[in-house]
Amino acid sequence: MTVLDNRVVSPASETEAVDPRDPQVRLAALLDEGSVRPITPEDKSGVRAAMGRVEGVPVVVFCSDARFQGGAMGSEGCEHIVHAYDVAVRERVPVIGIWHSGGARLAEGVESLHAVGRVFAAMTKASGVVPQLSVVVGPAAGGAAYGPALTDIVILADQGRIFVTGPDVVRSVTGEVIDMAALGGPEPHSKRSGVVHVVTKTESEALLQARRLAVLLGHQGRIRAAEVEDIDFSDLLPESARRAYDVKPLVKGLLDEPGVELHAKWAPNIVTTLGRLGGRTVGVIANNPMRLGGCLDATSAEKAARFVRMCDAFGVPLVVLVDVPGYLPGVGQEHDGVVRRGAKLLHAFAEASVPRVTLITRKAYGGAYIAMNSRSLGATKVFAWPTAEVAVMGAVAAVRVLKRRELAAATEEERPALEARLAEEHEKVSGDLGRAVDLGVIDEVIEPATTRSAVAKVLAQATPARGAHGNIPL
């Protein structure tokens, strides 16, 4: 970490100030000391590429050279990027792009458009083959916006800006007055657009996160189940089953050390984090009851689906923590395509080849139960804590439908007590864990205090596999 910080800031003793936009500075800051090996010439193409290492893990990196035409992409620079992709795919190593570019070179006209299109094609062909990371450290407009967008993970530094058309064009066409940061800076992209996975306060922190992710995806390791120590998670759930709580401490506790959360502020009702369990890279997906009660909705289903498909493409096993009251009801949701976008999550899990363990911590209702890596979608193992409940809907809501006539026949005074009694009876029959275990939709009821070892054991014994598909940015 200190290595990075020292290198981005130029030493005070140097007489000639180092241009922070110099790709050599950025490549040196990203890669292990002394590991940078250029694979493109020093030219004015606006792009530099190199091979190097991150904590010893080999990677290919290309970097905009914003000293020339603001890093705009011409045919020569685009050829360098395509070359970097060829090398990364041949070597089967992650490829990291550092972006600071105004888009296609205007002076080159259609030639530059053709070249930028070839970059997109190279990225798409490499999708799901090698991990692709993007670090946006300056403006990334037009073609330079869609480049990162085609990759698996986009990291945005404080000075990074991503947009198709800048504030001037927006103003002249729509009359909307907005600055670059409000249009395509960290605020809108972390919370509203979902374009960016990780936002950082500085460029050096952005490069550091890229290093962490490159190692997580590029060197996944093997799970050492015997070394996994258990933690008692029972205190993490509130006493009342109705009470919301933050699921992040559970995610953190499950992992060996804090992982990298992707899309932390976008669709926060579901948490997607890459980290390690027993030394092996895993992807954790968890409903967060603190936000929207943990309901699935159109956006969170889409976010989770993309994460599942990315992990599957690179052979990263999944751990799914379920506490979900259902799909979010509402006109807005239906009209936003909760059916179409929710279907992406069903598709992603049902398609996944990687080992994937589900743990139902508290409740799993209805369609959302199915969507959260249920047995029916092919979960490797489904665990439940003793307090868990699995049902089509909550017991009270269920008896209001099933026992409608009986309830209607009762007097107003009798009705609440009758409803409560019927709900209790219904819960015994349908929400009971024993029945779910008998049916085989839950394999085993485990204690919170044995969760880490139980999950690690399943993942250690599962046959490694990865999906044969790309990672379309859903």
Interface residue list for other proteins (CB under 8 A): 240, 242-244, 289-295, 325-326, 328-330, 332, 394, 396-397
Contacts of 288 (CB under 8 A, 6+ apart): 246, 247, 248, 268, 269, 270, 271, 294
Annotated catalytic residue: which of 70, 102, 142, 342?
A: 142
Burial class (CB in 10 A: 0-12, 13-18, 19+), 79: middle
Strand bridging mode 356-365 / 381-384: parallel
Q: What's at 409, amino acid-wise? A: A
418 three-state secondary structure: helix
Which one, 331 or 429, has the nearer CB to other proteins? 331
Query: Which conformational region is residue 442 in: left (phi greater than 0), alpha (psi within -120 to 50 degrees), or beta?
Result: beta
Q: Are 195 and 189 in contact (CB under 8 A)?
A: yes
Annotated catalytic residue: which of 143, 294, 326, 394?
A: 143
Residue 468's alpha-carbon distances to 86, 313, 356, in angstroms, are: 19, 6, 16
Q: Are 70 and 227 in contact (CB under 8 A)?
A: no
Cα radius of gyration (the chain): 25
Query: CA 434 to CA 281: how far, in whole Å?
Result: 33
Q: Are 143 and 164 in contact (CB under 8 A)?
A: no
Nearest to 203 by CA among 248, 269, 171, 155: 155
State in angstroms the smallest separation of the CB of 120 from other proteins.
35
296 three-state secondary structure: strand
State in angstroms the smallest separation of the CB of 269 from other proteins.
8
Angle 114-115-116 (CA atoms, 0-180°, nearest 5)? 95
Beta strands in 65-111 (DSSP E): 95-101
Q: Is 143 a catalytic residue?
A: yes
DSSP per-residue letters across 186-235: HHHIIIII---SEE-SSHHHHHHHHHHHHHHHH------GGGPPP---GG
Alpha helices, DSSP H, located in 262-320: 298-313
- Chain centroid to CA 47: how far? 28
Q: Is 142 a catalytic residue?
A: yes
Which one, 363 or 452, has the nearer CB to other proteins? 363
Annotated catalytic residue: which of 368, 379, 391, 456?
A: 368
Query: CA 154 to CA 263: how far, in whole Å?
Result: 10
State in angstroms the smallest separation of the CB of 394 from other proteins.
5
Q: Are 98 and 71 in contact (CB under 8 A)?
A: no
Catalytic residues: 142-143, 367-368
